[in-house]
Amino acid sequence: MESKNVILLVDDDELDVISVQRSLKKLDSEYELFTAYNGIEALEMLQKQVNEGVHHLPDVILLDLNMPKMNGIEFLRVIRADENLKHLKVFVMTTSGEEADRKTTEQLGISGYLIKPLNFNNNTKRSDSMDGFVQFHLRKILASKHLQ
């Protein structure tokens, strides 16, 4: 039986949240999207789900790095140290092109590091725009989930 994809989006930028929502709507896929605007909020959400039962934990976490209160790297460090959460699949989705950020997150354990496009050139391919980017990668992420 195919279960619904449960996605947790941790991003403080409302536009990114909307973009993900719109992209998911366009993809012909069953999903459930939770959103948190920073690391603390996301942790609380996960903790609540752990208390209710492991089945409700997200299949995929899309994690922004630059966030207030608790940033992506701190969040990743906390869940990797938590027995109940350390297996979670995390994709980093950030505007940071800093090599140090990529290294740190890869050492903590991630399934992918996606740099959000910052180009708005009308002439370039669709996948270079934010919506195109999100759709392209979400399709891949969700497909990899099905293949398991």
Partner 1 sequence: MKLATQIFLGFSVVIGISLTDSYVNYNLSQKVNRNTDYVAKSETIIRNSSRLHKSIIEMQSAFRGFLLTDDKAFLDSYHEGGRVIPKLFIEQRSLLLNSASQAAKLDTITKLHQEWIIYSNKLIEAKKSVKINPSLYVDLFENKLRKQVGKKINDRISLIFRAFDRAEYRLRESRRDALNHSVERTRTYSVIFLALTVFIGVLSTVYIVRLITRRIALMVNLADNISKGEFAVVKDDKNDELTSLSVSLNSMSETLDKNIKELEKRNKELNQFAYVVSHDLKAPIRGIYNVTQWIEEDLGNEVSPQMRNYLNIIPDRIKRMEDLIHGLLDYARISREKPLREKVDVNTLVKDIAELIIPEDFKIQTFGLPVLITEKIRLEQVFSNLISNAVKYSKSDVAGEIVIRCREVNQFYEFSIRDNGIGIEPQFHSKIFEIFQTLREKNAKESTGIGLAIVKKIIDDQHCTIGVESELGKGSTFVFTWPKH
Q: Does 74 bind partner 1 (CB under 8 A)?
A: no
Output 51 or 123, the one with its CB closest to partner 1. Answer: 123
Query: Binders of partner 1 among 86-115, rule CB under 8 A?
Result: 95
**Binding partner 1 by CB under 8 A: which of 1, 54, 100, 118?**
118
Cα–Cα dist 133/115, whole Å: 9
Question: Which tokens hold the place of 14?
Answer: 């409302």
Cα–Cα dist 143/148, whole Å: 9
Q: Does 22 bind partner 1 (CB under 8 A)?
A: yes
**Distance in Å, CB of 120 to partner 1, minimum:** 4
**Binding partner 1 by CB under 8 A: which of 70, 89, 131, 139?**
131
Cα–Cα dist 24/100, whole Å: 30
SS3 of residue 32 by DSSP: strand
Output 22 or 125, the one with its CB closest to partner 1. Answer: 22
DSSP state for residue 117 in the 8-state scheme: P
For residue 37, give the amino acid letter. Y
- List contacts with partner 1 (CB under 8 A): 13, 15, 18-19, 22, 95, 116, 118-122, 129-131
